[in-house]
Amino acid sequence: MKPEEIRILEKREAQVHDGKGAFEMACDRASVAGSVSQRACSFCGSRVVLYPIADAIHIVHGPIGCAAYTWDIRGALSSGPNLHRLSFSTDMQETDVVYGGEKKLAQAIRELAREYSPAAAFIYATCIAGVIGDDVKAVCKDAEAELGIPIIPVDSEGFKGSKKAGYHAACDALMNHLVGTGDTSDIPKLSINILGDFNLAGEIWMIEEYYRKMGIEVVARITGDGRVEDIRKMHGASLNIVQCSGSVTRLAEAMKKKYGIPYIRASYFGIEDMSKALYDVAGQFSNHPEVMARARQIVASEVKRIMPELMAMKKDLAGKKAAVYTGGAFKVFSLVRSLRTIGMSVVVAGSQTGTTEDYKQLHELCDEGAILVDDTNPVELAKFILEKDVDLFIGGVKERPIAFKLGVAFCDHNHERKIALAGFDGLVNFAREVHASVMSPVWKFVPRRANAAPKKEHTAPRSMPIGCTPAMCMTCDSTCGEEES
């Protein structure tokens, strides 16, 4: 099917900016029924935020199918306990729906707490538990009194809304049950909390090391490599750094209101944003000028180290086009800047949860004519990828099949990846993956490239340059091997 034959649903048209005319775009709406939105439910949002807390058990109160959405699906690493890698469910059956699942939940909490001795337990309510009216909060309260550890109910019934509603439920669970319950007497003034980083492939350790070199202590990590005790005392830090703004801004706002702790937004992806994050944090401690001096030294040495390799890859990637679709819009900003660093332009960009201000900023950041989409679906993505003839698609696990079916290179920038992409080393890893994917010779064989002008075949030269082989000549763009007429 040709891209012009693919039509956008009428109710979705306002959420697409085609790159033409004055910028105007609707967002923050409920997904259109039948559009096959890439969004997930409220339960998904809550477990994304809370599951990386490594010394707590996580119990899904619902059918076993919901628990399948938790086990080992992300690269969140721990430097200690790995309880977050286990998946527990009350496995509600038809009889539980009829007679209630509260006794089953209480028994599950009791057994698991005694088996694993966790620092806390998070209990996730699902659609079924909400529909039948199980009093999850009462069960948790009784279990906490019996076991002596925090048993935290999470109001994450899927029907409550989209993934963003789940983010809010997770933040409320932390704020209402853990934050502010610990001792802060040993926390220094030069201290921060890192919010919204989930330690995919160990990224939070890389970022924490930068701050350590600047002389700043990280009190709590929300929630990658997270610990219950650190969360309980995080109200003693001087500053909150919000990385994934959609998932944890609610927590930062609540802490600012209750404890007076300021927060700033930051991104750790790409040279520009990583450098800005360090400078912005140093700027918050202006009465300690040595912190800014150390930040400048870190940035200067790291950029000098990685730039030669990036520029070498840029020569191959210059002029290539990319499409980007992620969960949060803040991540898209960093991807646009980073792709520009290695010579690529973004011609299609969007997110699942962006705001009007996010898309205005994205419109200004992208090249003229770029298509912007909010809460899009596979059909629309396919249409725009074909229209713009992109060379690379960056998304998550649900977008990968779209790219490969269309014969487009794909890079995973979601929770499932196992490669660190944050920090200065992370940008090099990203550039290597992009280069290997885009420059692969396999793409010249895909159907969408079939009508492209074929390259003139070369015959092996009588005298090949040093280092060349006959096999290399068959794919080389040089004319050194052409026979003279």
Q: What is the pLDDT of residues 357-396, one digit of tens each?
A: 999 999 999 989 999 999 999 999 999 999 999 999 999 8
Q: Residue 350: enclosing H or E segment and its boundaries? A: strand 345-351
Q: 146-150, 317-321, 390-394, 398-402 — which is least confidently predicted?
A: 398-402
Q: Check: CB of residue 95 under 8 Å from CB of residue 31.
A: no
Q: Check residues 66 and 181 and name the one with the higher pLDDT.
A: 181
Q: What does the alpha-carbon distance between residue 204 and residue 194 come to, in Å, rounded to a whole number?
A: 8
Residue 65 resides in a domain: yes
Q: Tell whether 82 and 167 lie within a shared domain.
A: yes
Supply the pLDDT for residue 3.
79
Higher pLDDT, 415 or 481: 415
My answer on whether 55 and 155 are in the same domain is yes
State which of 177, 212, 235 marks the end of a domain: 177
Nearest CA to 213 among 124, 302, 128, 142?
A: 302
CATH code for position 253 = 3.40.50.1980
* Structure confidence at residue 251 (pLDDT): 98
3-state DSSP helix/strand/coil percent for the chain, to nearest 5?
45, 15, 40
Residues 48, 146, single domain; the answer is yes
Instruction: Band the pLDDT of 343: cuts 50, 70, 90.
Output: very high
Band of residue 469 on the pLDDT scale cut at 50, 70, 90: very low
Type of residue found at 176:
N
Co-location of 343 and 220 in the same domain: no
What are the distances in angstroms from CA 318 to CA 182, 315, 323?
52, 6, 15
Q: Can you tell me the distance from the alpha carbon of 431 to that of 429, in angstroms, rounded to the nearest whole number?
A: 6
* Residues 346 and 336: beta-carbon distance below 8 Å: yes
% of the chain surpassing 70 pLDDT: 91
**Residue 225 forms part of a structural domain:** yes
Is residue 480 pLDDT above 80, yes or no?
A: no
What's residue 454's pLDDT?
A: 53
Burial level of 357, CB count in 10 A (0-12/13-18/19+)?
Answer: exposed
Q: Domain boundary at 125, 153, 177, which?
A: 177
Residues in the chain: 485
Tell whether 476 is covered by a domain: no
Q: How far is CA 398 from the centre of its chain?
A: 13
Residue 334 counted as domain residue: yes
Helix (H, G, I), strand (E, B) or coil at 484: coil
Residue 408 is assigned to a structural domain of this protein: yes
Q: Tell me the β-bridge partners of 351.
A: 326, 374
Identify the pLDDT of residue 325: 95
- Does residue 261 lie in a domain region? yes
pLDDT band of 154, cuts 50, 70, 90: very high
Q: Give pLDDT, residue 69.
A: 62
User: Cα–Cα distances in Å, from 140 out to 46, 121, 133, 155?
Assistant: 17, 9, 15, 12
My answer on whether 170 and 196 are in the same domain is: no
DSSP 74-110: S-B--SS--GGG--EE----HHHHHH-SHHHHHHHHH
Quick one: 170 and 258 in the same domain?
no
Full strand arrangement of the beta sheet holding 217-223: 217-223, 191-197, 239-242, 263-265
Q: Please report the pLDDT score of residue 317 as a whole number.
A: 98
The pLDDT of residue 301 is above 80 = yes
Cα–Cα distance, 190 to 295 (Å, whole number): 14
Q: What angle, 0 to 180 degrees and rounded to 10, lies between the N-to-C axes of helices 289-317 and 271-284?
A: 170
Domain membership of residue 446 (yes or no) is no
Roughly what angle, to the nearest 10 degrees, separates helices 271-284 and 329-341? 120
Question: Tens digit of pLDDT for each residue in 175-193?
Answer: 999 999 999 999 999 999 9
Distance CA 366, CA 186 (A): 46
Same domain? 76 vs 173 = yes
Whether residue 151 is found in the same domain as residue 207: no
Judge if 201 and 296 occupy the same domain. yes
Q: Respond yes or no on whether the N-terminal peptide bond of residue 223 is cis (omega within 30° of 0).
A: yes
Based on DSSP, count helices (H) and strands (E) in the chain, helices before strands. 18, 14
- pTM confidence score: 0.88
The DSSP code sequence of 371-423 is: EEEES--HHHHHHHHHHHT-SEEEE-TTTHHHHHHTT-EEEE-STT--S--SH
Rg, Å, the chain Cα set: 25
- Domain region containing 232: 191-301
| 67 & 132 share domain | yes
247 and 276 inside one domain: yes
Residue 333 has pLDDT above 80, yes or no: yes
Q: Are residues 167 and 264 in the same domain?
A: no
How many domains are there within the chain? 3
Write out pLDDT tens, residues 125-140: 999 999 999 999 999 9
Compare 416 and 238 and report the one with higher pLDDT: 238
In a domain, residue 277? The reply is yes
CA 409 to chain centre: 19
**End-of-domain residue from the set 177, 211, 238:** 177
% of the chain with per-residue pLDDT over 90: 75
DSSP H helices in 100-159: 102-116, 127-132, 136-147
Beta-bridge mates of residue 200: 76
Q: Could you tell me if 63 and 92 are in contact, meaning their C-beta atoms sit under 8 angstroms apart?
A: yes
